[in-house]
Amino acid sequence: QIGKFAGIAFWLLLMARAIFPALLAPNGQDKNLLALLTSSVVCIGLFYGTGLFYGERTHISVMEYWRWWVVHLWVEGFFEVFATTALAFIFSTLGLVSYRMATAASLASASLFMLGGVPGTFHHLYFAGTTTPVMAVGASFSALEVVPLVVLGHEAWEHWRLQHKTPWMANLRWPLMCFVAVAFWNMLGAGVFG
């Protein structure tokens, strides 16, 4: 177990080594997007680490509790914020979206998670005998979590369509298509079928 925790700690330190100099630089720029990226990176490591709180001899009820944290709070919550913020950071750095649009999409993603993260897990309570209205609230909040990433992907796609205006865009065709595909498949998988 200690080796697994050391791996997560090493990942967090590696990310901190790259992010903190930019956060502490006195350049006078808006650092809201970078702060959101930093907090989402930390939460990714911490909440994924909850999956290490059980072992082979742990009682099934304790194991299911921590599995719930990893599957529903990490995957459906912090990972959405991290994915949106990381792609927003990349898109704004490449000039595909404005810094303001990237920050707004990331703040919307974080706000949706903070306001609707717990109600968003209610759609998983079907087997516990939860009533239909409660499950409908959960499904609605869960479907809303992908909206900021889809909006960001659409904005990047619109800018990418203007690729013939600048020569450097041709060199980034496949990475950009990958990021746009992430937004599309996230919308289809989590938003439509999720």
- Find the largest Cα–Cα distance for the chain: 61
pLDDT of residue 24: 81
pLDDT of residue 194: 62
User: What is the mean pLDDT of each successive set of 10 residues along the chain, which is 194 residues long?
Assistant: 70 78 76 84 78 82 79 73 82 81 84 75 73 84 75 74 70 76 77 70
User: Rounded to two decimals, what is the model's pTM?
Assistant: 0.72
* Encoded amino acid at 152, one letter: L
Q: How many domains does the chain fold into?
A: 1
pLDDT of residue 1: 57
CATH number of the domain to which 48 belongs = 1.20.210.10
pLDDT of residue 4: 66
> In terms of residue numbers, what domain contains 157?
1-193
pLDDT of residue 150: 77
